[in-house]
């Protein structure tokens, strides 16, 4: 097994419990770590034998475009869609971060992480 990472994909989205967050929007970072058997791809050099990063990015982008109150909800949707659409992935870790959340003080980011194995679903 190997791990394939797409790290800190940046999106401007409209997620948050406050009306201001859903109107003005904010910057979010999404990182995805996928557990994948890369042995065949390592031998064949064929994209069809591994995970297509573009497909993963497109899933994340589409889910980030849907306004939500909670980043937990967005992260769960990303997690579910990746497992549903990409059967080569056996394990998955998602980290979604909201930069500079409006908490009344200086906070770099608020994040949620979801991890799991396909076999646990």
98 is catalytic: yes
Residue 39: CA count within 13 A, CB half-sphere:
2
Which of 24, 43, 98, 106 is flagged as catalytic?
A: 98
- Reading the block at residue 16, the tokens are 């948050």
Q: How far is CA 19 from CA 11, 15, 22, 67, in A?
A: 19, 9, 5, 11
Residues recognised as catalytic: 98
């Amino acid at each position: 097994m190997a791990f394939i990472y797409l790290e800190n994909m940046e999106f401007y989205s409209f997620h948050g419990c406050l009306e201001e967050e859903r109107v003005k929007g904010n910057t979010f970072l999404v990182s995805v770590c996928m557990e994948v058997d890369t042995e065949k791809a390592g031998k064949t050099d064929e994209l069809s034998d591994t995970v297509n990063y573009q497909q993963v990015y497109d899933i994340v982008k589409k889910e980030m475009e849907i306004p939500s109150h909670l980043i937990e909800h967005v992260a769960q949707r990303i997690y579910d869609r990746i497992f549903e659409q990409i059967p080569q992935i056996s394990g998955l870790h998602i980290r979604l971060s909201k930069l500079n959340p409006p908490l009344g003080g200086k906070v770099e980011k608020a994040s949620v992480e979801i991890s799991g194995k396909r076999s646990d679903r």
